[in-house]
Amino acid sequence: MDREVGSIIVGIFLCFVFYRLLMKVRSRTSQSAPRKGSYPCPPGSCNPS
């Protein structure tokens, strides 16, 4: 039982770490190529056009 709970906690922790890594990569790619709704600054101030 304790072993199952431990493996579940480890699985949740790994999912959390992977999710944080994914969000970091997504924020980095959205900064280089801003997509609608993914960048914090208002439209028109980020892109040079």
pLDDT per residue as tens digits for the range 1-49: 789 999 999 999 999 999 999 998 888 776 555 555 555 666 556 555 4
Query: How many residues can be counted in the chain?
Result: 49
Does the pTM of the predicted model rise above 0.85? Answer: no
pLDDT of residue 7: 96
**pLDDT at res. 49:** 47
